[in-house]
Amino acid sequence: MRLWTLHPSYLDAKGIVALWRETLLAQAVLHNKTRGYKNHPQLTRFREHKDLLESYLHLICDEADNRGYKFDRTKIIRVRTKTKKSLPVTRGQVDYEWKHLLKKLETRDPARQKTHAKNKKTPEIFGVFKMTRHKNIEPWEIV
């Protein structure tokens, strides 16, 4: 399971479909609709913020819409309480994910990888996160 901090526009077709499916699985786990994956480290940051997971799923759908894909928004469980908060994420985590994604794209979508590799700016992240200056990788990440 990989719940990317990086904006979904960087993902290839397989990546965005996998993100959608894995985030739906995360949603099911957090709403006690399945028994597996309950202690998966990627869920740590969303455990107390199910409303932000709902927003995260909608952002995935928005990117899918931009690409002409049809993801079923009715699968998103509506959360009654909404917060205006964002989840902190370290700069080190974003850098780690960026390198991880570029490595995956080498084999899955070399043209996309070359385009992204030229980008020397800090990659854009999902709107539910706010980047901190810390250089460490998040403690829930499996390196």
Segment 82-123, tens digit of pLDDT: 676 899 999 999 999 999 999 999 999 999 999 999 988 889
- Whether residue 39 is predicted with pLDDT greater than 90 in this model: the reply is no
CA–centroid distance for 12 within its chain: 13
Tell me the pTM: 0.91
d(CA 58, CA 73): 7
Look at residue 119 and tell me if it is in a domain: yes
Look at residue 74 and tell me if it is in a domain: yes
List of residues 6+ apart from 135 with CB closer than 8 A? 90, 91, 92, 95
Segment 66-78, tens digit of pLDDT: 999 999 999 999 8
- Whether residue 136 is predicted with pLDDT greater than 90 in this model: the reply is yes
For the segment 43-69, the average pLDDT, to the nearest whole number, is 93
- Whether residue 140 is predicted with pLDDT greater than 80 in this model: the reply is yes
User: For the chain, what is the mean pLDDT?
Assistant: 93
Look at residue 94 and tell me if it is in a domain: yes
d(CA 99, CA 68): 27
Look at residue 33 and tell me if it is in a domain: yes
Look at residue 34 and tell me if it is in a domain: yes
- 23: domain range? 8-132
pLDDT score, position 27: 95
Number of structural domains in the chain: 1
d(CA 138, CA 28): 23
Look at residue 126 and tell me if it is in a domain: yes
